[in-house]
């Protein structure tokens, strides 16, 4: 089997990640057979928001290892149950909104038709 390599978002977007989260994979029942992987296009929901009524945001995770290096392997078994991820606000026009809303220690979710993971904001970079 040939491993597909993830291209770091910093190379694609030519900037640093917007913030960092600590995550814990906890698949909702409706998506219990999903397999998280590097490069997954999950969305972000603020912890106090309901994804069904308040919506979600195009903020994508990029999984990093315990040394802070970006995982390049896109195979499902490369993502650990808990860890850290860089977060990338995809829509440039919404960066100011998130800059005003994000707070250190804030809780959130990764979402894709259901909860993928619980997350906590552990670092905020310049937005």
At 97-110, the pLDDT tens digits run: 999 999 999 999 99
What integer is the mean pLDDT of 28-51?
94
Residues with Cβ within 8 Å of residue 69, at least 6 apart in sequence: none
- Token couple for 82: 């808990």
Q: What is the mean pLDDT of residues 6-33?
A: 94
Q: Is the pLDDT of residue 82 over 80?
A: yes
CB 47 within 8 A of CB 108: yes
Is it the case that residue 1 has pLDDT exceeding 60? Answer: no
pLDDT above 90 for 2: no
Could you tell me which residues come within 8 angstroms of residue 118 by beta carbon, excluding any fewer than 6 positions away? 23, 24, 26, 107, 108, 109
**Strand 43-46 with 115-124, pairing:** unpaired
Mean pLDDT of 34-55: 95
Burial degree of 13 (CB within 10 A; 0-12, 13-18, 19+): middle
Extract the tokens encoding 100.
Answer: 């005003």
Share of the chain above pLDDT 90, in %: 87
pLDDT at 19 over 90: yes
Question: ∠ CA(61), CA(122), CA(72), 5° rounding?
Answer: 35
């Amino acid at each position: 089997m040939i491993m597909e390599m993830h291209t770091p978002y910093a190379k694609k977007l030519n900037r640093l990640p917007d913030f960092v989260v600590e995550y814990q994979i906890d698949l909702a029942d409706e998506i219990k057979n999903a397999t998280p992987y590097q490069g997954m296009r999950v969305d972000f929901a603020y912890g106090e928001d309901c994804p069904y009524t308040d919506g979600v945001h195009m903020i994508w995770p990029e999984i990093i290892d315990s040394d802070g290096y970006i995982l390049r392997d896109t195979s499902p078994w490369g993502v650990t149950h808990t860890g850290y991820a860089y977060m990338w606000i995809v829509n440039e026009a919404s960066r100011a909104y998130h800059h005003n809303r994000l707070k250190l220690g804030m809780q959130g979710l990764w979402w894709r038709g259901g909860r993928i993971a619980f997350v906590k904001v552990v670092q905020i970079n310049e937005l």
